[in-house]
Homo-oligomer: A and B are copies of this chain.
């Protein structure tokens, strides 16, 4: 049996396949319903930076998941909250797509075009990256702006298409040139989990992380003292291993979780 007052779920690879644009639904409707009936708190964790919280919520609802705004935690949301924590309202140079800029603005920050106005630089996935954008970011970071990576995911892969330039690659370019290291907020950064726990007022030991990836989900959650449930889908291409004691429960499918929770 495993129980907690907050259930945090990695979405991609647990509820749906990796890509949000056109995902395959894997499951999770039953466990979400069961947890809501039992009055547990829920957080959907995703390191992607393409979608604002609102857009992410709408996309999950379109796939039949009953989730509220409060329960949806893409890294873009954590980035915006993190900047509020440090700056109150910040002037932010965004290297990223529309969803990231919208999320930053939804939290009261100002997205700036001129690097001289930037108190912070926020870098996410950006299919429109250019020489001028990176140059602006280099200048702002060099001039002392806060350097935030929404995530630093190294390997981005589009099914049927192959690898595409990753947000981690953009971050690495700016880090190399400026000799400064970005503050990463998205999973597996502990900041992602800390902001979620803080929002719900839950202690780590009273929270559980449910994910499909040992390194990106289980390890950071356990470092903070959270409980851990690994969803070990057989359709994952790779076979994962992990140190004894890292994972509290291993399941083949997320909806099996319901029967391990005390009612």
Contact = CB atoms under 8 A, between A and B. Distances in A.
A172 B130 CA distance: 16
Nearest to A141: B163
A177 interface: yes
The copy count of this chain in the complex is: 2
Interface string A179-206: 1000000000000000000000000000
A177 B154 contact: yes
Given A126-B131, A130-B129, A131-B126, A177 B166 contact: yes
Interface in A127-182: 127-131, 134-135, 138-139, 142, 154-156, 162-166, 168-177, 179
Contacts of A131: 126-129, 164-165
B174 A169 contact: yes
26 contacts: A129-B129, A129-B131, A129-B134, A130-B130, A131-B165, A135-B163, A135-B164, A135-B165, A138-B164, A139-B162, A154-B176, A154-B177, A154-B179, A155-B177, A163-B177, A165-B173, A165-B177, A168-B176, A169-B174, A169-B176, A169-B177, A170-B173, A171-B176, A172-B172, A172-B173, A172-B175
Interface of A: 126-131, 134-135, 138-139, 142, 154-156, 162-166, 168-177, 179
